[in-house]
Amino acid sequence: MNFKIMSVVFKKEIKDMFRDKKTIILGILIPLLIFPVMYGFMGKSMEDSQEKVQKNLKIAIKDEGNSSFNEYIKSQENITIIKSQDLKKDVQDGKIYAGIEIPKDFDDSIKNDKQVELKIVYDDASQNSSMAMDIIKSMADTYSKGVVKERLIKMGVDESILTPMVIKEDIVAKEKTNVGRMILSMMLPLFLIIYSISSPMAAATDLGAGEKERGTLEPLLTTKASRMNLLFGKFFAITLMGLIGTIASITGLLISFKTSPSLFGGDASVVFPAKTLIIIAALTIFVTMIFGALELSVSIYARSFKEAQTYLSPLSIVGMAAAFSTYMIDVKDISPVYLNIPIVNISVVLKEIINGIYNPMHIILTFVWSGVYITISILFARYMFSKEEVIFRT
């Protein structure tokens, strides 16, 4: 294999792809911007909705006995009491977020140490109404604790009798649990794998089936470049485009993580050390190379651009299945079986290192297996590229 010729093919393919503005827009700008824009709108809507309910809790109270609980609710901040003849209808129509029905004998039952049933009317299909329900339940819980305390004092009983055990937490982790890190350990492997599969797909489809369809593959085969030089030039071009797309997508996700922390557990203080970033980068390259070679093989086999897209679509499902299989796995109790399964092992190691766990055996085993899978993928692409009946398949 002539590396000089291969580099010429590589540069030619990269230049051709970047001459097309669609490559820059679809491969870089959209992946970079889609998550910040999407999560930005979602975060803003969620914050606006929460602020709207918390600052102006519109409720209606049906209370024939002028109970103390009614007065307690009215004494709370940011409460707006609205008159209502039909609580259910007004909640459904959105005039009020929730309605409270207080029984007539509420105070008498409380004084006589009886249990009282309080009805809260809300719409579980409405986010505002559900939030209002949670706020009212919290108020009712606080009021109930006050009643219990008064009953115990009246009986001459120490209120600590209700809590015979007090739990004292002693966390053995080296550092305080970071909610953002935990959420990233679930999301990042999934997104990395999906993007590493989908990002090189457009380039692979174009450099194989696309060239067949345009009639430019045959003239390329008549040049001095051998088929292996052509194959590896195209393969590295596809890998580079895949990496650029993946980096753009993950950068967009991390920007979203910082700008809309409420959607990610409210904790955006995640900083990874250099060794974590290096391992993540290496694993991302491995996944991109594995699927880049497979996608090029399928693209070469396909008769047309459209047929290649049809054949390549299931690969994304395979990647998602592999990532989801480790989605809820405990990183401190991983079966060795996972480390021998393609893509699954990469997802497992990603989860480990994001959580600060560096198991040398797991990392080495995953790197070795990834090297094996890359070799198999490239050999398969080489086989497809060397078959005349495949290249000239019409």
CB-based contact 230:9 (threshold 8 Å): yes
Taking CA atoms, 173 is separated from 158, 169, 178, 186, in Å, by 36, 12, 11, 19
pLDDT of residue 324: 83
Report pLDDT for 173.
52
Strands 57-63 vs 98-102: parallel, antiparallel or unpaired: parallel
Spatial distance between the Cα atoms of 294 and 378, rounded to a whole number of angstroms: 8
Q: Domains plus CATH for the chain?
A: 3-38+178-391 (no CATH), 56-162 (3.40.1710.10)
Q: Look at residue 372 in the predicted model and tell me its pLDDT.
A: 92
Q: Provide the pLDDT for residue 369.
A: 92
Average pLDDT per run of 10 along the chain, which is 394 residues long?
Answer: 80 79 72 74 69 84 86 88 89 90 88 87 87 90 87 78 72 55 76 84 85 79 80 89 83 75 57 80 89 89 86 84 80 81 88 85 91 90 82 68
**0.75 exceeded by pTM:** no
Strand partners, 99: 60, 121
